[in-house]
Amino acid sequence: MKRIIEIDCPPELLIGLHLNAEDMADYIKRQAAINFFKEGRLSSGSAATWLGISRVAFLHLAWNAGAVLLEDSQDDFDRERSLLS
């Protein structure tokens, strides 16, 4: 089931940002996915699926946005390593 969320955005804001409505929606969706991931509320795999990109591509986006990809714990390392096999 697909849900659509509407956000009121005045035209002058889009003009000022040099974005059309579709580009603005894509930007907001990408930022939301990254922030939910950074907060630990969304996994990298779920975020990647939501955005329609590979997990590696999402992790690259998140890294560039300042996300910590691995904590300094053995559990995190083991979990990430298990995903590679």
* Cα 45 from Cα 47, distance rounded (Å): 5
| pLDDT digits 0-9 by tens, 11-70 | 999 999 999 999 999 999 999 999 999 998 999 999 999 999 999 999 999 999 988 876
**Assessment of whether the complete model's pTM goes beyond 0.85:** no
